[in-house]
Chains A and B, each alone.
Chain A
């Protein structure tokens, strides 16, 4: 087995962690944000 797989794993998991955290925070904030219906009220 290629010993470079360790580096590949670190790269992919790190990317997933960064992008996943950003998207999770964004989704969470969007869900908490008032909807257009609320804004009209």
Chain B
């Protein structure tokens, strides 16, 4: 128990340090972009948030598939799916917010109903719906939630490839282009972006572990409450 507490604390401190380093590199060390000026600093958070949203929804889909598979069915997969989706929604919201704040000085508008932005907004609402569904409970709710998570994941590749499939105001890949050639030449800019990806991955892992633990406790408590209610009604102690 002490080892687990120390590990969680050590991991939390490492995550915090990575996020502080990201803020320092993003705001001070990285140079302003030759075309976008200082507004490009928003991309050091916007791009990692979008990447981690993809990762979180992938983890949700994978955990849901593992829950549905009879041989690997375990409540922990359901808890991981829920915890990961929650962080994914947070990151998708941040992606839209930061993109909008970046878009005003660079595009001249807060919002445009174009392919990437619209599909990302749909993604946010899909997973908000998934989280709402999780709260409904009921018989076979975990199975129903897992199927919903797999359906919602269909939008992730659509969001990613929307800039290639349709005419879009949003630029192509921020780090790699269609030919997978790196498009960032400045070492400090590239490092800051990778630092952002690392810091957000650590935060995702830390939040997921904590949230999974809480979901486990909530699930155990509701089972105990149900057993107590049955015992009270039938008069037979469980």
Contacts and interface: CB of A to CB of B under 8 A. Distances in A.
A36 to B, nearest CB: 5
Contacts, number: 76
B210 A26 contact: yes
Contact of A14 (B27, B97, B214): B97
A7 B49 CA distance: 17
Interface in A1-20: 2-5, 7-8, 10-12, 14-15, 18-19
Q: How large is the interface on A (under 10, 10 to 19, 20 to 34, 35 or more residues)?
A: 20 to 34
Given A12-B45, A35-B1, A36-B1, A26 B97 contact: no
Contacts of A10: 101
Contact of B94 (A5, A15, A29, A30): A15
Contacts of B90: 18-19, 22
B198 interface: no
Nearest to A6: B105
Contact of B207 (A23, A36, A39): A23
Given A7-B102, A8-B41, A8-B42, 8 more contacts: A11-B46, A11-B101, A12-B23, A15-B94, A19-B203, A23-B207, A26-B214, A36-B4
Interface of A: 2-5, 7-8, 10-12, 14-15, 18-19, 22-23, 26-27, 29-30, 33-37, 39
8 contacts: A4-B105, A7-B105, A8-B42, A11-B102, A12-B23, A15-B45, A19-B19, A19-B94
